[in-house]
Chain A
Amino acid sequence: DVKVTQSSRYLVKRTGEKVFLECVQDMDHENMFWYRQDPGLGLRLIYFSYDVKMKEKGDIPEGYSVSREKKERFSLILESASTNQTSMYLCASRSSGSLLTGELFFGEGSRLTVL
């Protein structure tokens, strides 16, 4: 069974802390994505990566950075967490072999609360 695994389902952090959200996929997908999901705002793209060490900003990259050192792993980093980053974070992956037709595979999500 194909899988996207997010390392932490629930996290509670304090303002100013550095936060790492890890995502691992076992499908050998080139493309990986980080979204945040907030009530009334839907899913918003933070960053995506189309290959190892390659990344592009999404719609809301401010306050976030990413790392993709290995093909299967895509990390989202909050350098200094703030309360407005309290949200559900969703990781997804997708094959680049079919850019038009290939679906996204999602992890279970990481719910982050920043106090």
Chain B
Amino acid sequence: AQSVTQLDSHVSVSEGTPVLLRCNYSSSYSPSLFWYVQHPNKGLQLLLKYTSAATLVKGINGFEAEFKKSETSFHLTKPSAHMSDAAEYFCVVIYSSASKIIFGSGTRLSIRP
């Protein structure tokens, strides 16, 4: 079955340290992959997307993600966390076979001062 898995429900890092939020998808030919961020009581905002161009994708607010087909992963990273990065992050996949949009369960990112 087509699916997307966010491996951590909660990640806590210190301000200024690197952030890694993990996302794995079930294998499929040419999926499109997205990362969204949701701040408390807000809608979801697109951080970045992969649509079969460059495998390293840069997004807003210093985030980037790398598409690794061999590992079926699309992990989100940021070199240095900021307090304003505290939010919920969603990995989203669209599979070409069904064009259905599948959301991961979300990862809550906390930033320690």
**Chain A residues with a Cβ under 8 A of chain B:** 4, 42-43, 45, 88, 90, 92, 99-101, 103-109, 111
One of B15-23, B61-69, B71-79, B96-104 at the interface: B96-104
Which residues from chain B contact A101 at a C-beta distance below 8 Å? 32, 49, 51, 94
Q: Are A43 and B103 in contact (CB under 8 A)?
A: yes
Q: Is the CB of B43 within 8 A of A90?
A: yes
- Neighbouring A residues of B94 by C-beta, 8 Å: 99-101
Complex Cα distance, B10 from A77, in Å, reads: 34
12 sampled A-B residue pairs with Cβ under 8 A: A42-B103, A42-B106, A43-B90, A88-B41, A90-B44, A103-B46, A104-B34, A105-B46, A106-B36, A106-B45, A109-B41, A109-B42
- Report if A107-B43 is in contact (Cβ < 8 Å); known contacts: A42-B104, A101-B49: yes
Q: Does B105 contact A (CB under 8 A)?
A: yes
Chain B contact-residue range equals 20 to 34
Residues of B that sit less than 8 Å from A by CB: 30, 32, 34, 36, 41-46, 49, 51, 90, 92, 94, 96, 99, 101, 103-106
DSSP majority for the A interface? strand
**Residue among B36, B45, B90, B96 making CB contact with A100, cutoff 8 Å:** B96
Check B101 against A104 for contact (C-beta < 8 Å). Answer: yes
State how many angstroms separate the Cβ of B7 from the closest Cβ of chain A. Answer: 14
A42-B103, A42-B105 known; A100-B32 Cβ under 8 A: yes
Is A106 within 8 A of B44, CB to CB? yes
Q: What is the chain B residue whose CB lies nearest that of A42?
A: B105
Q: How many Å lie between the Cα of A24 and that of B32 in the bound state?
A: 26
